[in-house]
């Protein structure tokens, strides 16, 4: 008789979410984590100096704002386990080198007014797109929090709805098509397209990215982004409190070597130490599709081969976390102090942004850094000692460099970070010299070392192309979380529906597991 109903491999955002739901519904769970700190992509550490808390990967919580974890507090993270958010007035802004800014305030009228400074017509187009999404946001939120629908069925359903063909068409176009068709002002176009690229980590000219433009715009006003007080780690810690409080266990520093698949049943894991742990009912594991064949033996070679074809994004990025003596002063842009994601771009020529995207697609570093910065201490002063600040600088970069592959990152990351910081200082001159008390640089290679879910430096765990979404993520046969030929094994991670980011993706896995096990979850999961 095993001591646990379910063993969960990996304590990342998705797997922890799954464990928390299962445990709350009465299944005894054990979570195994290779790192000393739980959270996967949702962690904060004192990377620079004591007292400075830095988000090491994900930063800011967007998708989850429309998820029952927060909207219905299903896991009591807010009411019982101390999770609190600060909500900036604006989620996203662009600062151009000439001093122009465009700011996406949570308040729609204010956001439209800001765009109207550049183009009345664009402001109206923006409002129209928010309206297009307004009607279907509840459906989208629900579809993200449950196991995925078959993609074709979803498309078929959409094409039957009023206005659905227009949405279907927009889903399959590129964000570039959608934006250049609907918006006329070059700066507004850059502002919007850069946002899509940041959200998806793919060039905005790829067809099927149009849906992301709609989603981002719709989401910003229905569910504006928040910052967990105390750092992203607070979200992870709240989930862990929920698991433990309900009787679950977590073992850190416990790498798992493989899932044991015996006669088509996978309910045990072997640790790197050699120890074997057995679950009574199921194993949930965060195994990237590219690693499936290595970590689970005895699978059908076709299943493994198709999982290997799962595509990573064109680019990820390099993260520089800084401890600052004083807050950045953004030239010309005081609005930046009330905005979560501050984007900097030198040129007002859309073709230059396209060129950088081409460079990333071909595995080159863009000629000019493209970056997003967040000054979290503006909204959450607890993250730094009195009066001091943190700065989070994420600049886009290919995970796999055409010249030198991933390995080369160790050689170039500090030098590239110098370039990025020098360039950033053009927009905030005081982010330089002894105002930078310390910094820490993570390259795409460092990120893979931290988590194998980030294969090839892809922080979404695989590209968010339409053919890798919903019932096709990561492949059609793996999309329902169960693994054919390994009964009892379920996959969880950013490479599964609903995808990368802080999405509460463990909930659909838990639903699937409990449906298979005939566990009644209706008291906890209500929708």
Partner 1 sequence: MASHDVVIVGAGHNTLTAAAYLARCGVSVQLLERHDQVGGGAVSRSITLPGFVHDVHATGVAHLQAHPIVTHDELGLLSKYGLEFVYPDASFMSVFEDGVTIGCYKDLDRTCADIAKISQKDAQSYRRMADFMAQIGPMIGMSMNRPPGRFGGFVALIEQTPFGAELIQAMLKSAYDVIIENFEDPRIRIHFLKWVAEALCGPEEKTTGINMFFLIGASHSAPAGLVKGGTQKLSDAMLACIEANGGSVRLNAPVKRLINSGGEVKSVELESGEIVTAKKAVIAAIHPHLLDRHVEGLDAGLVRRARSTTSSLFAEMVVHGALSARPSWKVGEAPHTALGVNLIGEMELEGFRRIFDDLRYGDLPKDYIGHVAVHTNFDPSRAPAGEHTLYHLGLAPYALRGGAQRWDDLKEERADWMMAQLEKFAPGVQASVKARRVDSPLDMERYSPSFQKGDIMGLGSYLYQSLGLRPTAELSQYAVPGAKGLYLSGPFMHPGGGLTGGGRAVAMKLMDDAGVDYTKVILS
Residues at the contact surface with partner 1, assessed by CB under 8 A: 150-153, 155-160, 165-166, 168-169, 171-174, 177, 181, 205-208, 309, 311, 351, 354, 358, 361-362, 402, 465-467, 472, 476-477
Nearest distance in Å: CB 139, partner 1: 15
Residue 99, classified by CB atoms within 10 Å of its CB into exposed (0-12), middle (13-18) or buried (19+), is exposed
Q: Which is nearer to partner 1, 332 or 355 (CB)?
A: 355
Nearer to partner 1, 286 or 475 (CB): 475
Least distance from C-beta 181 to partner 1, angstroms?
5
Instruction: Tell me the closest approach of the beta carbon of residue 102 to partner 1, in angstroms.
Output: 23
Q: Decide whether 137 or 155 has the Cβ nearer to partner 1.
A: 155
Cα-Cα-Cα-Cα dihedral sign, residues 344, 346, 347, 351: negative
Beta-carbon contacts of residue 356 (< 8 Å; ≥ 6 apart): 366, 367, 368, 370, 396
Residue 203: CB minimum distance to partner 1, A: 9
Q: Assign residue 201 a region (left: φ > 0; alpha: ψ between -120 and 50; beta: otherwise).
A: left
Closest separation between CB of residue 31 and partner 1, Å?
Answer: 32
Specify the residue, 79 or 160, whose C-beta has the smaller distance to partner 1: 160
Query: HSE (CB half, 13 Å, CA atoms) of 200?
Result: 31
Which residue, 402 or 438, has its beta carbon nearer to partner 1? 402
* Closer Cβ to partner 1, 262 or 308, answer by number: 308
- CA–CA separation, 316 vs 397, rounded Å? 5
- Residues 6 or more apart in contact with residue 396 via CB below 8 angstroms: 197, 198, 201, 315, 316, 317, 356, 360, 366, 369, 370, 371
If the CB atoms of residues 177 and 446 are measured against partner 1, the closer one turns out to be: 177
State which residue, 14 or 185, has the beta carbon closest to partner 1.
Answer: 185
Name the minimum Å distance from CB 479 to partner 1.
Answer: 9
CA distance 119 to 398: 34
**Smallest separation (angstroms) from partner 1 to the CB of 299:** 18
CA dist., res. 450 & res. 434, Å (int): 30
Q: How far is the CB of 516 from partner 1 (least distance, A)?
A: 21
Nearest to 379 by CA among 87, 15, 66: 87
Closer residue to partner 1 in complex, CB, 142/152: 152
Nearer to partner 1, 153 or 272 (CB): 153
Burial class (CB in 10 A: 0-12, 13-18, 19+), 378: buried
Q: Which tokens belong to 275?
A: 């120890």
> In the complex, what is the shortest distance from the CB of residue 354 to partner 1, in angstroms, rounded to a whole number?
7
**What are 56's two structure tokens?**
């090491």
**Smallest distance from the beta carbon of 173 to partner 1, in angstroms?**
6
Q: How far is CA 194 from the centre of its chain?
A: 16
Rounded to whole angstroms, what are the CA distances from 366 to 66, 349, 356, 363, 527?
34, 15, 5, 9, 44
Query: Cα separation of 228 and 220, whole Å?
Result: 17
* Calpha distance 441→61 (Å, rounded): 22
Number of H-type helices and E-type strands within the chain: 17, 18
């Amino acid at each position: 008789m095993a001591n646990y109903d379910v063993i969960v491999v990996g304590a990342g955002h998705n797997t922890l979410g799954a464990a928390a739901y299962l445990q709350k519904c009465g299944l005894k769970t054990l979570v195994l984590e290779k790192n000393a700190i739980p959270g996967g992509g949702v962690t904060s550490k004192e990377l620079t100096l004591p007292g400075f808390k830095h988000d090491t990967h994900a930063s800011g919580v967007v998708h989850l704002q429309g998820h029952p974890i927060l909207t219905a507090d299903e896991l009591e993270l807010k009411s019982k386990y101390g999770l609190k958010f600060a909500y900036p007035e604006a989620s996203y802004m662009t600062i151009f080198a000439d001093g122009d800014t465009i700011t996406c305030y949570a308040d729609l009228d204010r956001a439209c007014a800001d765009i109207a400074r550049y183009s009345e017509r664009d402001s109206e187009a923006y409002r129209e797109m928010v309206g297009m999404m307004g009607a279907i946001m509840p459906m989208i939120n629900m579809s993200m929090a449950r196991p995925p629908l078959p993609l074709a069925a979803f498309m078929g359903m959409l094409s039957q709805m009023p206005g659905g063909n227009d949405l279907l068409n927009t889903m399959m176009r590129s964000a570039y098509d959608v934006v250049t068709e609907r918006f006329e002002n070059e700066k507004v176009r850059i502002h919007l397209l850069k946002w899509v690229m940041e959200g998806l980590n793919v060039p905005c000219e790829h067809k099927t990215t149009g849906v992301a433009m709609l989603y981002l715009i719709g989401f910003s006003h229905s569910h504006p982004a928040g910052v967990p007080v105390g750092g992203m780690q607070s979200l992870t810690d709240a989930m862990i409190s929920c698991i433990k409080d309900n009787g679950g266990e977590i073992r850190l520093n416990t790498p798992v070597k493989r899932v044991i698949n015996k006669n088509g049943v996978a309910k045990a894991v072997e640790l790197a130490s050699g120890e074997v742990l057995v679950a009574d009912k199921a194993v949930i594991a965060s195994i990237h599709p590219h690693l499936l064949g290595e970590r689970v033996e005895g699978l059908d070679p076709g299943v493994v081969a198709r999982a290997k074809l799962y595509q990573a994004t064109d680019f990820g990025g390099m993260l520089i976390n800084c401890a600052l003596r004083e807050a950045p002063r953004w030239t010309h842009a005081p609005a930046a102090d009330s905005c979560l994601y501050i984007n900097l771009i030198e040129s007002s020529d859309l073709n230059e942004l396209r060129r950088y995207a081409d460079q990333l697609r071909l595995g080159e570093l863009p000629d000019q850094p493209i970056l997003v910065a967040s000054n979290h201490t503006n909204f959450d002063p607890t993250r730094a000692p009195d009066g001091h600040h943190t700065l989070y600088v994420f600049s886009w970069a290919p995970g796999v460099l055409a010249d030198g592959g991933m390995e080369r990152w160790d050689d170039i990351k500090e030098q590239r970070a110098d370039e990025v910081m020098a360039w950033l200082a053009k927009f905030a001159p005081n982010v330089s010299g002894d105002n930078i008390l310390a910094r820490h640089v993570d390259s795409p290679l460092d990120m893979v070392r931290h988590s194998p879910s980030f294969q090839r430096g892809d922080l979404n765990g695989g590209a968010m192309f339409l053919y890798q979404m919903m019932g096709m993520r990561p492949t059609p046969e793996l999309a329902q979380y169960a693994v054919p030929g390994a009964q009892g094994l379920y996959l969880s991670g950013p490479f599964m529906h609903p995808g990368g980011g802080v999405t509460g993706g463990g909930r659909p896995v838990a639903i699937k597991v409990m449906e298979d096990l005939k566990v009644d979850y209706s008291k906890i999961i209500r929708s």
